[in-house]
Chains A and B, each alone.
Chain A
């Protein structure tokens, strides 16, 4: 079987984990069907017996039999649903875990090229459609097939002529379901398209509400909306034209087989080819057997939707992670934190223009490199390559003399403490956030130390639950500066060999910044530090300063040598002094 064309086939390995349960569930289906088929038979006997003379105690026996059989059937049906639907939830659980684990491995460029909402809807909505196949889809199919097979065999055995005649309208039901189904599907898609047109327009209208209001275009917006809305209603009504016929027609067709039974079966009773009891039993069976005919359409729909959804899930799961360790990768014997960038030119995947061009810098272990430049000059792009958030070309970024691509990914990242530009904290306690990078528990004293370095300790003391305080939606709202400081503690807490600060003090006031830098200097002493900053005050004391402009190194040196050069750096410095003056005014 070609797996590309049958996305659902990929579910088989998942299902095979639960094969025992499925086999048992199938057994329950068979037992439920058999028990269910006994009911009408008993009623038939009752009718036949009533025509003859029957003892009152026999009646009680039959009544008890009906109730008893229903109890047995109910017992089986309960287990059928519990097992088979349960399996679908088990597989959903496994599949969602695997999906999550796969997403975790994907590189940033993959995640950034897709909207979060899109990935999430695969993990929830699509997965739920697939779950519907695994649960109700499979169960109903089993039940419908088993019921049709056993039920029809029994009816044919009872009276084949009557069976064949009553089945004619039922066959028509199946045909109707199929032919209407296609058309309903098509018209429904038309409705969906119009629906998304309405959504797009609404979104546009709301996003551009200022323009709408500025130009006083409210009325014409309403007119556009009216047209879209009218078309939507028109398409809906065209579907209604179908469904309004469809459902009553189904009822009528099913009713037709009742008429055949009444008319033809009645004649057979009159001609004594059939007992009245058999006639009544037949009536009961017919009621049961119409269900699979109607269900066919629904089951088909479940499988169709599930298949489309599984395709979408697989599209994500079949994309291999672009950034991973090469087989047999080993870290250098002695990790000291030296960094070297050699003739680096870098383009983001899928783009033409290089964001970094021919960059070479060497940072000996334990020294500090500062990177400055205007927005968009490539500062973040450069530091993102060191922990391989994006992959640099081979041989351009080396840590301790070894290409980052030859490092085991986890070892490389473990030796880097990174404070990203946009602070991201998890909605968890402050303690959990600071200790995030640690695999083992963190001692209280160490936590205190990490918090102290970033000068967040004093703030934490003011929170009622201290380190246990929740941040984010369910807890307290931290200021931008507080968040940045926790992110700094988080990076320091893993005792990295290389520390990267990607403009991580931008939301901290100058006074606090100085204190943080003071504390950090102690930590930075035996570590390599990369400082990206807008503020000259932050980087003045770095061993090396690199000025980036349009992705190239424009200037390189120390604060003093760059000031003497009187170029971009000196200009930036002067402007900052002016800005500070402005801020004081």
Chain B
């Protein structure tokens, strides 16, 4: 929904042709230059053959029909059939080559975007709503496909045919051709005016449609307010006004379209009139045959046909340019966080963590972490507590280098996280978030997450260890059960156990855990506690604690308040301080 409003805002119409964008787009053709070459050959050949057809008709009239030569007529008919077969063959080859190539280019582009998206940092995804990014991979790419397969090709084909016709006409009778083409300036003028008018009215229609969308959205999301305040009528009248603007804009656009087509036909009739008049005079003086005259008339009809659907092609071109602009903008956005060229370390061995005077903020002026320093020794278990907005989850994000610190440094095994190989660092840190994110697919895929080193046996063993196996066995297809839609069929406790199994199967050196806050029944609660003990054994861990048992079992507790570490110590030590922890304890943990 939010994506929709953004898309309507993005509906700004740009140029239909942009040299810079076009050059870059053509770059995608390079791997397929052989296809392009043969497609062009087919296209030129096909256009060439089809241009012969009216000439054949004219020739048949002059040579055979008027001279009553039946066998000659048979020959021409046979030749005509041959041209049809050739046009069919060339047409098929060209369509096949171009469309298959189009698909392959779309494949490449789509992969390129998806690959690029995987490298982007988390801050980028914070800023860009899912819907907007989806559009790049889906409809924007489709618009480009349209450009490659119909847009560019048909424009090229039209150009071929138009030149072909012009060449033939000048060859047949250059004087008549000149007379006929004298209407060209008129044609160009009409088309230009039309293009401008249509673009203007199109823009008006788009603006009106965007307003309709915005209004609709607002009135659906705000329907409670409209209903309670009894303002249906007022809003309805407003809607009819906006709707009327849309109607008027459309009626204007209908006017131009209704005018353009007859105008083109009129100009074409003007050309035929000229041919009849001047060609007739020439025929009378013996300078022109009837067959040539008929051929001329047919050619002029073929000449005007491509021009009439020009506006359609123009729209394709326009939207493709807008799409490519958006796609390239995305591709040109560099990720802010990348793996160092020469990493100082590829994986975590000991599991020692140190935060040294870390400062961090998502937005300038809104500090989230202020001068945070702490150490976690290998195998140590540290709990982080604090009220909401204290900066607890930020610590997790920074450790996995989802964001870079503003100031200070974070060391893992005495190596700065930004000197670590990014993938290696993240692979050695197991993250369990409050709400497990489930991908569509089976239970085992959701534990394995595509890591080929994790065998089925290891998955089952992990599930067994963290007590997830029990409920998985009850699912109708056990480990193969599909659990899409964010696992709506699973309870909060089950999801948590599944998340534990996932983390355990990946066997990380360091484990960071954001405990679920939701209440869980006592039985599951006990299972979770036991599973947690097993999961944490032998690993360095940082836990954002929401359960009393967790903080009690921690080696050390860090109390975070408004981005600063205010107190540290064991549960008992902190209680005795009677400070922030004591208050938090009363508020959050005490039954």
Contacts and interface: CB of A to CB of B under 8 A. Distances in A.
Interface of A: 39, 43, 46-47, 50-51, 54, 56, 59-60, 62-64, 66-67, 69-71, 73-75, 77-82, 85-86, 89-90, 92-93, 96-97, 100-101, 103-106, 108, 111, 115-117, 119-120, 123-124, 195, 198-226, 229-230, 232-233, 236-237, 240-241, 243-245, 247-249, 251-252, 255-256, 258-259, 262-263, 266-267, 269-270, 276, 279-280, 283, 287, 387, 389, 410, 413-414, 416, 418, 420, 424, 426-427, 436-437, 439, 473, 490, 494, 575, 578-579, 581-582, 585
A67 B266 CA distance: 7
Contact of B224 (A75, A119, A420, A427): A420
Contacts of A67: 266, 269-270, 273
Given A77-B261, A101-B236, A248-B95, A215 B437 contact: no
Interface string B202-244: 0000000100111011111111111111111011100110011
Interface of B: 1, 3-5, 53, 56-57, 60-61, 64-66, 68-70, 73-74, 76-77, 80-81, 83-85, 87-89, 91-92, 95-96, 99-100, 103-104, 106-107, 110-111, 114-115, 117-119, 122, 125, 130, 133-134, 137-138, 209, 212-214, 216-232, 234-236, 239-240, 243-244, 246-247, 250-251, 254-255, 257-259, 261-263, 265-266, 268-270, 272-274, 276-277, 280-281, 283-284, 290, 293-294, 297-298, 301, 387, 400, 402, 422-424, 426-427, 429-431, 433, 437, 439-440, 449-452, 502, 506, 561, 566, 580, 583-584, 586-587
A82 B449 contact: no
B216 A105 contact: no
Closest 10 CB pairs of A and B: A220-B450, A70-B269, A74-B262, A248-B91, A63-B277, A437-B229, A81-B258, A263-B77, A244-B95, A218-B118
Contacts of A59: 276-277, 280-281, 284
Contact of A582 (B130, B234, B235, B580): B580
Nearest to A47: B290
A106 B133 CA distance: 32
A111 B223 contact: yes
20 contacts: A64-B273, A70-B269, A73-B265, A81-B254, A89-B254, A93-B246, A104-B226, A120-B217, A205-B114, A209-B117, A216-B422, A218-B118, A244-B95, A249-B88, A266-B65, A270-B64, A473-B5, A581-B583, A582-B587, A585-B561
A485 to B, nearest CB: 15
B228 A418 contact: yes
Nearest to A199: B138
B262 A77 contact: yes
Contacts of A108: 223-224, 227
A229 B112 CA distance: 12
A202 B132 CA distance: 11
B134 A199 contact: yes
A198 B254 contact: no
Q: Which of A215, A218, A418 has the most CB of B within 10 A?
A: A215
A410 B502 CA distance: 55
Contacts of A241: 96
A115 B254 CA distance: 33
A74 B283 contact: no
B367 to A, nearest CB: 17
Contacts of A387: 227-228
A430 B130 CA distance: 31
A263 B45 CA distance: 25
Given A97-B240, A267-B73, A280-B294, A221 B118 contact: yes
B223 A248 contact: no
B347 to A, nearest CB: 11
Contacts of A222: 111, 114-115, 118
